[in-house]
Amino acid sequence: MSLDEIKISRAILSRFMTKFSDCLELDVAIVGAGPSGLMAALRLAQKGHKVAVFERKLSIGGGMWGGGMMFNEIVVQEQGAAILKDLGISVEDAGDGYYTADSVECTSTLTSLACKAGARIFNLMTVEDVMVRENRVTGLVINWSAVDIAGFHVDPLAVRAEYVVESTGHDTEVLRVVRKKTGERLLTDTGEIMGERSMWAEVAENTTLENTKEAFPGVFVAGMAANATFGSFRMGPIFGGMLLSGERVAELIDERLTG
Ligand SMILES: Cc1cc2nc3c(=O)[nH]c(=O)nc-3n(C[C@H](O)[C@H](O)[C@H](O)COP(=O)(O)OP(=O)(O)OC[C@H]3O[C@@H](n4cnc5c(N)ncnc54)[C@H](O)[C@@H]3O)c2cc1C
């Protein structure tokens, strides 16, 4: 069979346009493909919801690839280990209730399972703003990351969603823009993003789950962004809280969508 470059190009364009166009109206739009965002995407897709993830970078996985300080192993506790095993990821017992897993296997398996469950992942797209109607976030405003990086003067496109998951990690980029542009209070004690505190793994793992909740009408926060939003601690390279937070946000949104 001869290869025709134009047919290759046309296949990419037409397939991408179909996929992207199908995702302009979603049940759930997830911002950030770190462990919490990927886990949320997997569980929401498994529940039959129409879900897409928008990730700024070329690579999917956020901070999980690098383990701790580029030693590419992650640590989880019992509950996290149970999730990883359930996903078919190899887990090693490190004693005293600690377990380790290869961060590359974790990231690639989670990504693959989310895609196979039906979640669409769009890399190289940056969420720069949100759509708001009557004090509720109703969607995302997105642009190519290359446009953002180059500082080009190019207008974005929009995606409508019943719910948005803010899983952008430390930077809490979605809620930052919501607070700035609406001028409305977030659902935190101060009404502001309260900011992440220094490292305290034990407390941070628990509060990640407690802080996984709606932080503005239409926006649920998960992962490190949850602790940054509600003023809790960072936890370093222990990832069970991220996975549990992704599961939790999927449950909360599923209740809203089906309740
Ligand atoms: C570069 C980096 C450095 C980190 N350093 C540390 C550290 O030193 N100590 C520590 O405790 N934790 C650190 N973390 C976080 C740590 O890896 C986590 O505990 C874990 O990865 C957090 O998972 P998460 O799902 O909350 O988000 P993350 O793994 O942080 O993933 C968030 C994802 O959101 C994407 N994103 C952000 N803004 C946008 C946007 N506007 N549009 C689209 N996508 C967006 C990012 O590219 C990233 O892939 C770091 C994370 C990253 C990405």
Residue 234's SS3 state is strand
Task: Indicate the range of 10-24, 32-46, 189-203 predicted with least confidence.
Answer: 189-203
CB contact at 8 A, 100 and 94: yes
Q: How confident is the model at residue 164 (pLDDT cuts 50, 70, 90)?
A: very high
Q: Residue 168 pLDDT > 90, yes or no?
A: yes
Q: What is the mean pLDDT of residues 31-36?
A: 98
Alpha carbon of 8 to ligand 1 centroid (Å): 34
Task: Indicate the range of 8-17, 121-130, 165-174, 191-200 predicted with least confidence.
Answer: 191-200
Q: Encoding tokens for residue 68?
A: 């701790």
Alpha carbon of 172 to ligand 1 centroid (Å): 10
Tell me what pLDDT residue 201 has: 84
Alpha carbon of 34 to ligand 1 centroid (Å): 6
Q: What is the mean pLDDT of residues 63-83?
A: 94
Tell me what pLDDT residue 238 has: 81
Tell me what pLDDT residue 205 has: 85
Tell me what pLDDT residue 66 has: 92
Q: In 10 A of CB 63, how many CB atoms?
A: 19
Determine the straight-line distance between the first and last CA of the chain, rounded to whole angstroms: 53
Q: What is the mean pLDDT of residues 93-114?
A: 97
Q: What is the pLDDT of residues 201-250, one digit of tens each?
A: 888 888 999 999 999 999 999 999 999 999 998 887 789 999 999 999 99
Mutate to test the pocket of ligand 1, among 38, 53, 55 (most ligand atoms within 8 A of CB): 55
Q: How confident is the model at residue 1 (pLDDT cuts 50, 70, 90)?
A: confident
Q: In 10 A of CB 176, how many CB atoms?
A: 18
Report percent pLDDT > 70 for the chain. Answer: 100
Instruction: Walk me through the domains of the chain, giving residue ranges and CATH numbers.
Output: 24-258 (3.50.50.60)
CA nearest ligand 1 atom 33, residue:
32
Q: What is the pLDDT of residues 40-64, one digit of tens each?
A: 999 999 999 999 999 999 999 999 9
Q: Residue 259 pLDDT > 90, yes or no?
A: no
- With vertex at residue 251, the alpha carbon angle to CA 250 and CA 255, rounded to the nearest 5 degrees, is 115
The residue behind tokens 């996985």 is 61
List residues near ligand 1 (CB under 6 A).
Answer: 31-37, 54-57, 62-64, 126-127, 167-169, 171, 173, 223-225, 234-236, 242
Tell me what pLDDT residue 108 has: 98
DSSP assignment letter at 217: T
What number does the ligand 1 atom closest to the CA of 241 have? 19
Contacts of 191 (CB under 8 A, 6+ apart): 185
What number does the ligand 1 atom closest to the CA of 174 have? 41
CA nearest ligand 1 atom 5, residue:
63
